[in-house]
Chain A
Amino acid sequence: AQTVTQSQPEMSVQEAETVTLSCTYDTSESDYYLFWYKQPPSRQMILVIRQEAYKQQNATENRFSVNFQKAAKSFSLKISDSQLGDAAMYFCAYRSANAGGTSYGKLTFGQGTILTVHP
């Protein structure tokens, strides 16, 4: 079974600064997807960024970028120019792309990191 680990329960950053959230995962599969989701106090799950394992290029979405290290099974999220609205709980998630597996299509979430943004 796949596992996702976020080792930082809480992080804080000053507005306009950069912060990196860590995520590691364990899998024996070669084809999968990785995601970062944001959950603000409203508790709505918002997709921040997605990475396909077969792509070597790191995904970017405006101020959000990832550092995907497949061999190390690491998938960190960098938030540049942090804004007050970035304050939320962030979840790293894994999804298998193996059509024959029992975990096909399911998302496995990490424990989450609470990000505080200071003005």
Chain B
Amino acid sequence: GAVVSQHPSWVICKSGTSVKIECRSLDFQATTMFWYRQFPKQSLMLMATSNEGSKATYEQGVEKDKFLINHASLTLSTLTVTSAHPEDSSFYICSARGGTSNQPQHFGDGTRLSIL
């Protein structure tokens, strides 16, 4: 089956630093990638949708300058949390979809981000 690799799986960093999370589709071309945020025992909240070669579309309430998304190739999207603060600590999950929209989304294993 389709595989999506997300890296790192866990990162701890100091407040004020920037953190980059990578999402790679290993065996298919991901025309669209999605980034979600999840707090403990809560649902996944969509942050943004990115299409290869285009600017990401952010959901209402998500700060574009805080969460930078780049989808430069058909196999890689990155989420950069800029000037991270403790309130940015969360679980971030990416998913990728290839081809037409009736293709299923394949999820990465998520990244646990802890800001000290």
The A45-65 residues at the B interface (CB cut-off 8 A) are 45, 47, 50
Please tell me if the beta carbons of A107 and B46 are within 8 angstroms of each other in the complex.
yes
Quick check: is A72 within 8 A (CB to CB) of the other chain?
A: no
- The residues of A that contact B104 with a CB separation of less than 8 Å are 47, 50
The CA of A14 and the CA of B107, in the complex, are separated in Å by 30
- Chain B residues with CB under 8 Å of A108's CB are 46
The residue of chain B having its C-beta at the shortest distance from the C-beta of A104 within the complex is B101
Q: Are A110 and B91 in contact (CB under 8 A)?
A: no
A111 at the interface (CB under 8 A from B): yes
Name B1-56 residues within 8 Å CB distance of A: 32, 34, 38, 41-44, 46, 49
Instruction: State how many residues of chain A have any CB contact under 8 Å with chain B.
Output: 22
Question: Is B88 interfacial (CB-CB < 8 Å)?
Answer: no
In the bound complex, do residue A109 and residue B44 qualify as a contact, i.e. CB atoms below 8 Å apart? yes
> B109 to chain A: which residues have CB within 8 Å?
42-44
A89 at the interface (CB under 8 A from B): yes
Cα A47 to Cα B103 in complex, Å, equals 13
Contact with B along A97-119 (1 / 0, CB 8 A): 10100001111111110100000
B residues in contact with A43, CB < 8 Å: 38, 91, 93, 109-110
Shortest beta-carbon distance, B48 to chain A, in Å?
A: 10
Nearest-neighbour CB distance to chain B for A37, whole angstroms, equals: 8
Question: Is A91 an interface residue, CB under 8 A from the partner?
Answer: yes
Question: What mask results when residues 23 to 42 of chain A are scored 1 for a CB within 8 Å of chain B, else 0?
Answer: 00000000001000000001
Q: Which of chain A's residues have a CB closer than 8 A to the CB of B107? A: 44-45
Indicate if the CB atoms of A112 and B34 lie closer than 8 Å: no
A-B contact pairs, 21 of them (CB 8 A): A33-B102, A43-B91, A43-B110, A44-B107, A44-B110, A45-B44, A45-B93, A45-B95, A45-B107, A47-B104, A104-B101, A105-B97, A106-B34, A106-B46, A107-B46, A107-B95, A107-B105, A109-B43, A111-B42, A112-B41, A114-B41
A residues touching B (Cβ–Cβ < 8 Å)? 33, 42-45, 47, 50, 89, 91, 95, 97, 99, 104-112, 114
